[in-house]
Amino acid sequence: MTATGTATARAFPNIALVKYWGKRDESLMLPAAGSLSLTLDAFATTTAVTLDARAAADRFELNGEEQGGDRLNRVARFLDLVRERAGSAARAIVRSRNEAPTGAGLASSASGFAALATAASAAYGLPSDPASLSRLARRGSGSAARSIVPGVAVWHAGDGDETSFAEPVEAPDMRMAIVTVDERQKAVSSREAMRLTALTSPFYGAWVSSTERSLEAMLEACRDGDFTRIGRITESHALRLHAVIQSADPPVRYLSPTSIAVFDAVVRLRDRGVEAYATADAGPNVCVIARPADADGVAAALREFGRVRVVGPGSGAELIPDGGAAA
């Protein structure tokens, strides 16, 4: 691969239907179990990486604002890995723009590191095949491994760095209604809370083994095109995730009373014959999957709980050939 010195890439966030929660190797970012997600068609991150051989340090601009502290360090550590592989010492300017509304609870670290891995690989001349990009993105944020892939993606737990990456899965078409019940930033980061869960929850072992079983069942349901089964697994698995998080010491609780009310409203929709199934990440906002024909009705039924946006399957991380300005 040849280094271009500058490259721009775009990636979308993903929402997991079988969640990743816990690492078996923190330095290599290997997950305790595999997971499966839907890459969305909204809330993109666009990132431009430009090498600057004379600069003494990396710079990171997010939505036009120069970043320092932890945010800059996380980007710089990721670029160290890229430089080590590329045999380059050049520092870079990273300019990133995030279309997700701040605090909407959408995994911006997934779209962020997927876009950064894609742009940095082109700029520094690393391999650009999807599996290599997914492995690299994983090192920035685990869930970013899946945002390299369009639509439904499985991230294999793997048995080491080489085998832990995401790839596409055939699945029935679906939509997701994202219900923003609370715009505030979460109090405890996923990274911190998953570490705490793994260290302290008496149920952690059961969580990992049940996730392995959920993933197998989910892959089978996707192969069969069985939306009902996909939905049932999604919702029961999400409630198990929040159960194991609440069982940490000290406990962490991400779901608010309104989040629970949305889960209840989804049960009522099903009682009326509308197939909808809820999930939630490390925050109070709830994502509800439905068949395409049902999505607008589901969204209308959930508007009383907060802002609702219907999204569908999106594309994987891509280079923007004309270098479309990120900043």
**Interacting residue ranges for ligand DP6, rule: CB under 6 A:** 16, 19-21, 29, 35, 107, 109, 141-143, 190-191, 281-282
| Identity of residue 97 | R
Minimum distance from residue 134 beta carbon to ligand DP6 (Å): 13
Minimum distance from residue 252 beta carbon to ligand DP6 (Å): 11
Between 244 and 301, name the residue whose CB sits nearer to ligand DP6. 244
Say how far apart CA 253 and CA 272 lie, in whole Å. Answer: 30
Between 50 and 141, name the residue whose CB sits nearer to ligand DP6. 141
Q: What are the Cα distances from residue 110, in Å, to 122, 227, 292?
A: 19, 25, 25
Between 281 and 294, name the residue whose CB sits nearer to ligand DP6. 281
Burial of 212 (0-12, 13-18, 19+ CB in 10 A): middle
Identify any residues that bridge with 307 across adjacent strands, giving them in sequence order: 180
| Identity of residue 243 | A
Say how far apart CA 163 and CA 35 lie, in whole Å. Answer: 14
Minimum distance from residue 26 beta carbon to ligand DP6 (Å): 8
Instruction: Name the token pair of 299.
Output: 């969204």
Minimum distance from residue 165 beta carbon to ligand DP6 (Å): 14
Between 33 and 49, name the residue whose CB sits nearer to ligand DP6. 33
Minimum distance from residue 129 beta carbon to ligand DP6 (Å): 22
Minimum distance from residue 41 beta carbon to ligand DP6 (Å): 17
By C-alpha distance, which of 131, 168, 175 is closest to 150? 168
Between 51 and 153, name the residue whose CB sits nearer to ligand DP6. 153
Between 4 and 256, name the residue whose CB sits nearer to ligand DP6. 256
By C-alpha distance, which of 315, 324, 313 is closest to 47? 324
Between 90 and 248, name the residue whose CB sits nearer to ligand DP6. 248
Between 48 and 252, name the residue whose CB sits nearer to ligand DP6. 252
Minimum distance from residue 43 beta carbon to ligand DP6 (Å): 14
Minimum distance from residue 321 beta carbon to ligand DP6 (Å): 28
Minimum distance from residue 272 beta carbon to ligand DP6 (Å): 29
Between 16 and 171, name the residue whose CB sits nearer to ligand DP6. 16
- Give the residue at shortest CB distance from ligand DP6: 142
